[in-house]
Structure 1
């Protein structure tokens, strides 16, 4: 496939999902509240040895270079030639490993959605989320539109995550936010990841941290977490199964605490404050309605000031949507416990 044609196919794929795409050489940048760097390699222009990219870059190749999928740590997608191009209407979806997950068909026929996704993506399974996340472990009910297997290995910033999205919460769309947080970790930090899932925050933070403790209550998620520690050969991450309220007490203080449970993180903010070190940072995720952050800021103030601590909000970052009026936001809090 010609380089220009392959780039056009990749551009179309992201623009169809609401991204704005800009080009620089063989690199594209897709923006939609977050930025995803894409590199495109056509077999007519590049050899397998030419295909390389930074760990955080998503790579696209044509079928003539599909061998690189196994060689690179990047998330690699293969665009296949079609004898006859067709127009496909596809709903918004995300790709976790080689599984496509549709959150909402948005009026698209099931068969057309499957055909459209398979036209653009080399996946083994296509899942349709029947309802929003629910239950103690924030899981959705899924309908299999194509394929049977629901376990996969997802690549993100050079790490591999074994995951089954029907058994444990995981979103590819949260990857950029995970990297944003991990990039703030300083050498020698002790980091706690509450509600750790299969371990993406923990793995990324392990590059600079001296120690990372990751706690996950869902037994399936905790098992994947432990497997992923071994899969990535990470020695400074400890994966623990259990409720943070039972596991964390007695573990001492941490320089950084990550709380990626926007539905109910407020129930555990006090626990985090009890275990944050002086001048430590808490990444506090909450859902915000209609852009109104005052309510969340009030709950932060109340919880911190009743302990006699001081704090400042270092940053407030939008990192996804739950619905038309509900936004997931991260409040980066630096807590001063003594002056």
Structure 2
């Protein structure tokens, strides 16, 4: 077929020009011949060397690893339809029946998603004081540190040493949109700083606390990466910080145990300030238990509360959801 022949150092510029002219033939692989590159074209193009050449046809690239992975038919229905991407790492949750096919699944993910460099399987639930989980290496590079981008910020982290969920990016942006310029914010369980660094774009000051030394180490690096100099990292138990901060807004992103820290949150927010509380709730009654606990703690302190918004954030387990409750504290 007809082709444009150009020196390889001009190839990218010529490719763009051929696309702009609408003459680059689709569905064919570009050929390389020594110091030259050949582009298939649909018609003669003035100003370029034209030659006749054969080209390999290329098919549609698969969109899902499930299109190319080789596993027995009887377990194929168990293949997860999604996985988490953190930076250039993929973390997939596999049922026990698929663990023995982990390498094939990992290789398939790498083949389809070229930007991913390593694949891990979740080895268990998030657990322990530092909220981390065991990871099983399936394929690709043997590293767990990466650079993740979301909401216009960069976050460096080690997925084996800190807790981080990319699925909360939309929730973090929701809080950002509610934040008013000049606020003082207390992020009680900050991790590597996905809330703190983002909110620093609007806030006057963000106090970001975490008990995990690795999380605070990466938080400090992310402050530098994003030039978020108005974030104050605090390593230690949040109970020792509570009450020493008077914030306009408090973030309680510790859904499994946030109810245990409501007293500290309410003592750290000014009169009329807002607390963003996270928890887990059953599908049939998402919020009642959490509302009751919030009211009870407020009564003990002699405060009032005004519920502002309640929402499902994401599914957590069968018939269980990660929920958010925004409430105002009245002192």
- TM-score surpassing 0.5? yes
Q: For residue 195 of structure 2, what is the aligned residue in structure 1?
A: 201
Report the CA distance between 1:248 and its aligned residue. 3.2
Change (3 A) 1:181 1:126: same
Q: Secondary structure at the match of 1:163?
A: strand
Matches within 5 A, 1:239-250: 239-250=233-244
Measured against aligned partners, the alpha-carbon deviations of 1:142-167 in whole angstroms (never above 9, x if no partner) come to: 10111201100000111100011110
Q: For residue 336 of structure 1, what is the aligned residue in structure 2?
A: 330
Report the CA distance between 1:107 and its aligned residue. 5.0
Measured against aligned partners, the alpha-carbon deviations of 1:72-102 in whole angstroms (never above 9, x if no partner) come to: xxxxxxxxx9767562355221110000011
Change (3 A) 1:278 1:149: same
Q: Secondary structure at the match of 1:333?
A: strand
What is the distance in 2 between the residues matched to 1:150 and 1:300? 38
Report the CA distance between 1:239 and its aligned residue. 0.9
Change (3 A) 1:301 1:248: closer
Q: Is the 8 A contact 1:105 1:113 kept in 2?
A: no
Q: 1:100 aligns with which of 90, 106, 120?
A: 90
Q: Is the 8 A contact 1:88 1:115 kept in 2?
A: no
Q: For residue 88 of structure 1, what is the aligned residue in structure 2?
A: 68
Q: For residue 278 of structure 2, what is the aligned residue in structure 1?
A: 285
Report the CA distance between 1:116 and its aligned residue. 2.9
What is the distance in 2 between the residues matched to 1:318 and 1:205? 21
Aligned residues: 262
Change (3 A) 1:125 1:236: same
Report the CA distance between 1:308 and its aligned residue. 2.2
Q: Secondary structure at the match of 1:322?
A: strand
Change (3 A) 1:113 1:105: farther
Q: Which runs of 5+ in 2 are unaligned?
A: 1-14, 21-29, 31-56, 70-78
What is the distance in 2 between the residues matched to 1:160 and 1:311? 35
What is the distance in 1 between the residues matched to 2:269 and 2:188? 13
Change (3 A) 1:82 1:294: farther
What is the distance in 2 between the residues matched to 1:162 and 1:329? 27
Q: 2:107 aligns with which of 115, 136, 142?
A: 115
Report the CA distance between 1:291 and its aligned residue. 3.8
When the two chains are superposed, the root-mean-square deviation of aligned CA atoms in Å is 2.3
Q: Secondary structure at the match of 1:170?
A: coil
Q: Determine which structure has more spread, i.e. the larger CA radius of gyration.
A: 2
What is the distance in 2 between the residues matched to 1:171 and 1:312? 29
Deviates more, 1:220-229 or 1:294-303: 294-303
Deviates more, 1:236-245 or 1:284-293: 284-293
What is the distance in 2 between the residues matched to 1:116 and 1:314? 45
Deviates more, 1:268-277 or 1:114-123: 114-123
TM-score normalised to the size of structure 2?
0.74
Matches within 5 A, 1:246-261: 246-251=240-245, 253-261=246-254
Q: Is the 8 A contact 2:242 2:265 kept in 1?
A: no
What is the distance in 1 between the residues matched to 2:173 and 2:96? 30
Report the CA distance between 1:290 and its aligned residue. 2.6
Q: Which runs of 5+ in 1 are unaligned?
A: 1-41, 47-63, 65-80
Change (3 A) 1:195 1:45: farther
Q: Is the 8 A contact 2:275 2:327 kept in 1?
A: yes
Q: Secondary structure at the match of 2:317?
A: coil
What is the distance in 1 between the residues matched to 2:172 and 2:143? 26
Change (3 A) 1:313 1:88: farther
- The answer to whether structure 1 residue 180 and structure 2 residue 174 are counterparts is yes
- The answer to whether structure 1 residue 130 and structure 2 residue 116 are counterparts is no
